[in-house]
Amino acid sequence: MENNFFNVGIIDELDRVDGKAKVTGTAKYAAEYELPNLTYGVLVDSTITNGSIAAIDSKAAEKAPGAITVISHLNSPKVPGYDAGANPVKGPTGGKGLQIFNDNIIHFNGQPVALVIADTFERAVYAASLVKIQYKKEAHQTDLDEAKKNVLALEGQRYNDYLRGEADTYKNAPVKIEAEYIVPIEVHNPMEMHATIAFWSGEDKVTVYEKTQGVKSTQRSIMQAFKLPEENVQVIAKFVGGGFGAALRTWPHAIAACIGAKKTGKPLKLVLNRMQMFTMVGFRPHAVQKIGIGATPDGKLTGISHEAFSHTSQYEEFTEGIVNMSRFMYACPNVNTRYKIYPLNISTPTWMRGPGEATGSFALECGLDELAYALKIDPIELRIRNYAETDPQRNLPYTSKFLKEAYQLGVDKIGWNSRNSTPRSMKEGELLVGYGMGSGVFNASRGTARAFARLNADGTLLIQSAVADSGPGTATAMTQVASNATGIHVNKITFELGDSSYPPGPTQGGSTTTSTLGSAVHDASVALKKKIIELAKENAVFHTADIHNAKPEDFVFENGNILLAADRSKKMSFTDVVKGAGLTQVEVTEESKGSEELRKYASYSYSVHFVKILVNPATGVMRIVRAVTVVDAGKIISLKTAESQMIGGVVGGIGMALMEEGIIDHRYGRWVNNNFADYHVPVQADVPHIEALFVDKPDPVLNPIGAKGMGEVAIIGFAAAVANAVYHATGKRIRELPITPDKLIS
C-alpha cells in the first residue's frame, strides 16, 4: 500500500458540487435527453402469472395514430447474446435470466411481453392499450409460506450450511431465546424511474443514456447482448435519481430499448412507469428467519443458530447474505447458519440497500435484545461482553474496528444510561416512551479503479472516471480526495463521471465507491505530484542543488503551489511549473487496487442506531421522535455528503421498520400495492431530527485514504433498533415488519 507521503493542506467542508445543478433542474437524468427523431417505447406487461403466450394481435395497435411498430417474441430481431443459453443481462446470480422477446414463456405477472413504439409518448401508451394477447394459463406460486410446504428449495454451493463448533448448542444453554423474524418484500422505489434512451449509428454502434449505478457494467451487458466490442457501446449516466441497488443490474427493459431502436433505426426512449418499478427492477425479497441464541448467566454467548428462507424467480437464482452477519458480528464459539431459497412466480429479487444484512440484522439484533432482557443485562453491555477482537469467522485481524467507540458516542448522545430499562415503565403524558438500539455491519472492501487527472496551465484540475453516482455525492467526495492529496483548492477541481468512455471506475454498490475510486483518485493525485516535482526540479527558478536531491516527502503542496518544506521561500505555483516546462497541461492515468496484504485482514464498517419512540397505547400510533446513528466508516472524506448518506439510510430504515410492505394477492399472483398511494414510504412528518455521528478514525490498512464504506450500514440494524424500542415502550415483541399500529393494539 502506498501512503500519502506528502504534507498537504486544504480541508474545507465542501458543499455538494452537483447540488446547484440538481436543485435548479439543469442536471440531466437518463430520460431527459432530447434527440432528433426521438421515438417512444411503452412495454406491455403480462396479465397472467404463469404459462405462455398463445397469440398476439397487434394489428389495431400498429394502425393507431403515430404508431411505428410493435415488437414481441414473434418478430423481435435476434439478440445475438441470447444464443447457447447465455444470459447477457445477468447480474452475479445463477440461472438463465429473462431474455426479453426471446420466447413465449410467462414467469411472472407484469413480465414485459411486447414493446410498442410511437412518435410520442402518449400515442405509444394508447397504442399499447390496443395490443391483445391470448395466454395459456398455468397454476402459479407466489406465496413463500406455501412454497415452503410444497416446493423444493434450490440446492447449490451458494446455500452451503455454515458451522463453527457445534450446531444448535443454544438449545442447551442456561439462558436462551428462540424466535422467528419476518421481513416482507420491500421495493427500492427511487424517485427517478428506470429509463433508457438508445440510438444506433449503423448496425454495430450504440449509445445508451441509462439509469444505472455502473456505466461500465451496463456497457458490458450491452456488449454481451449484442456481441459488440467495447468501443462500439457508450453508456452515459451523468445523474442518477436514486438507486438503492435497483440500478445495479442491466434489466431486460434496457435490452428492449436497444432492440427497438435497432429495429426502427431511430433513437428510442423507454421509461418504466411506477407500477413497472415494482415488477421489472427487483426488490428486497420476503424472508422468514429463525434465530436461536444461547448464553451463560453472565452473558457470554455460547451458541447462535440462524436459518433463513427466502425466494427467487423461476428463471434466476438470487441469493444474498441474510444469515452471514450472525457468523462474524460477535465472538461466539458455536455458530450454525442455513439459507434456502424457493423459486416463485415473481420477478427476480435484487440487492437493496444493506442487501442480506438489513434483513439478517433484524433477527440477530432483535434476538440479542431478547437475550439481554432474559439475562437482565443491558443490551450494550451484552454486546461489549461478546465483542469480537478478531474476525471469528475467518480468524483474521481487522484492518480497523471502532465499534466500541461508536457504541459510546451513541450512548452519550441519546442518554441511553438514564433510561429505565423495564418495559412500559417510561411515559410522557399518556404516551409510552421507548428507547432501542441495534447495530449493523457490512464488508468494507476495495476494488479496482482507474482515474484520469489533468492539471491545466491555469492551475485547474480535471479528474475523470467511469463511475455513476446514484446520490451519495461521489463527485463531491472525489473532489475532496483530490484536493487533500494535491493541495489544489476544491473550487479549482472538476470531477467528471457517468460516461463509459472514461477510465473504468467501479459500479456504485456494496459501499465501496469511496474506498475503491477514492484510492484511484488519490493515486492519480500522487502520480501528478511526482510529475510536478520532476518538472519543478528542471525549472531554473526552482533548481538548486538541495532541490535536486530532495525526495518527494521534502516537498509541500499547498494552495496550488509546490514548496520545499525545509525552505518555504523555495516556492512555485503549479501554473508556473506547467508553463515553465513549455506545456499546456500535465496528465496521468492511474490504476489502483487492493494489495495481497489485504487478504491477511478482515475489514468491516459498523453502525449503531439508537431511537427514542413515543407510542399511543390506545391507538398503537407510534412516532420516532429521535434517531441517533453512529458509524465507524474509517476517515470521513466529505462531512456533508456523509451525513446525508447516514440520514438517508435512517429514513430508509424508518420505512423498513414502520411502513414498507410489498403485497401480492396470491390468488392471482398480482401486486396489490404497486403505487405510492398504497405502498407507504416515510414522508417528512414521519422523520424526526436525525443526528449522524462519526467515529472518524482512518483505517490504516484498507486504502491510502483511510475511508471505509457507509451506504449499507446506514440502514442495517435500524429496523431492529425500532422494534427493540417498541418492546421497551410497550412490552410487546413485534417480530414481523413493518410495525404498524394494528400490531401494537391486537
Q: Which three cell numbers stand for residue 144?
A: 413463500
Indicate the SS3 state at residue 284: strand
CB 510 → ligand MOS: shortest distance, Å?
4
694 in Cβ contact with 720 (< 8 Å): no
Measure the CA–CA gap between 34 and 322, rounded to whole angstroms. Answer: 43
What is the distance between the alpha carbons of residues 361 and 342, in angstroms, rounded to a whole number? 21
Shortest distance, position 481 Cβ to ligand MOS, whole Å: 21
Closest contact distance (angstroms) between CB of 470 and ligand MOS is 7
Q: Which residues bind ligand MOS (CB under 6 A)?
A: 213, 243-245, 248, 351-353, 355, 509-510
Work out how close the CB of 704 gets to ligand MOS at its nearest, in angstroms, rounded to a whole number: 23
- Between residues 320 and 590, which has the closer beta carbon with respect to ligand MOS? 320
CA dist 568 and 528 (Å) reads 21
User: Between residues 354 and 434, which has the closer beta carbon with respect to ligand MOS?
Assistant: 354
Residue with cell 457504541: 407
Angle at 213 between CA 501 and CA 160, to 5 degrees: 120
Maximum alpha-carbon separation in the chain: 86
Q: Which is nearer to ligand MOS, 234 or 511 (CB)?
A: 511
Query: In angstroms, how far is the first alpha carbon of the chain from the final one?
Result: 58
Q: How many CB atoms lie within 10 A of CB 555?
A: 23
DSSP-assigned letters across all residues of 525-547? HHHHHHHHHHHHHHSTTT--HHH
CA distances to 61, 64, 200, 281, 391 from 124, rounded to whole Å, are 9, 9, 21, 21, 56
Catalytic residue among 166, 661, 712, 736: 712
- State the residue for C-alpha cell 434450490: 154
Helix (H, G, I), strand (E, B) or coil at 184: coil
- Identify the DSSP state of 32: G
Distance of CA 540 to the CA centre of its chain: 51
Instruction: Pick the closer one to ligand MOS by CB: 649 or 738.
Output: 649
- For residues 581 and 567, the answer to whether their CB atoms sit within 8 Å is no
Nearer to ligand MOS, 357 or 499 (CB): 357
Q: Are 331 and 338 in contact (CB under 8 A)?
A: no
Whichever of 459 and 711 has its CB closer to ligand MOS, that residue is 711
**Residue 88 or 509 with smaller CB distance to ligand MOS:** 509
**Rounded-to-integer distance, Cα 305 and Cα 290, Å:** 8
Report phi then psi at 14, rounded to 5.
Answer: -80, 135
Between CA 6 and CA 249 the distance in angstroms is 39
Three-state DSSP string of 396-456: ECECCCCHHHHHHHHHHHHCHHHCCCCCCCCEECCEEEEEEEEEEEEECCCCCEEEEEEEE
Instruction: Give me 637's grid cell.
Output: 472524506
Looking at the Cβ atoms of 244 and 694, the one nearer to ligand MOS is: 244
User: How far apart are CB 15 and ligand MOS at their closest, in Å?
Assistant: 24
Least distance (Å) between residue 466 CB and ligand MOS: 17
Minimum separation from the CB atom of position 112 to ligand MOS (A):
23
Smallest separation (angstroms) from ligand MOS to the CB of 648: 12
Q: Least distance to ligand MOS from the beta carbon of 668, Å?
A: 30
For the question of residue 320 being annotated catalytic, the response is: no
Identify which of residues 244 and 309 has a Cβ nearer to ligand MOS in the complex.
244
| Grid cell of 663 as nine digits | 403485497
Q: Which of 218, 275, 280 minimizes the C-alpha distance to 246?
A: 280
DSSP code per residue over 604-621: EEEEEEEEEEEE-TTT--
- Give the nearer residue to ligand MOS in terms of CB position, either 142 or 515: 515
Q: How far is the CB of 629 from ligand MOS (least distance, A)?
A: 18
**Strand locations in 184-239, DSSP E?**
195-200, 206-210, 233-236
In whole angstroms, give the CA distance from residue 175 to residue 293: 8
CB of 714 to ligand MOS, least distance (A): 11
CB closer to ligand MOS, 351 vs 574: 351
Number of Cβ within 10 Å of residue 458's Cβ equals 12
Q: Is 248 or 493 the residue whose CB approaches ligand MOS more closely?
A: 248
CA atoms of 653 and 638, how far apart (whole Å) = 22
The distance of closest approach from Cβ of residue 509 to ligand MOS in the complex, given in angstroms and rounded to an integer, is: 3
For residue 699, what are the contacts with CB-CB under 8 A and spacing of at least 6? 399, 400, 444, 603, 634, 635, 706, 707, 708
What is residue 371's DSSP assignment?
H
Rank residues 352 and 692 by Cβ distance to ligand MOS and give the closer one.
352
Beta bridge partners of 336: 163, 305
As a whole number of angstroms, the distance between CA 395 and CA 397 comes to: 7
Q: Are 311 and 344 in contact (CB under 8 A)?
A: yes
| Rounded least distance, CB 357 to ligand MOS, Å | 10
Q: Give the burial class of 448: count Cβ atoms within 10 A of its Cβ; 0-12 exposed, 13-18 middle, 19 or more buried.
A: middle
Enzyme catalytic residues? 712
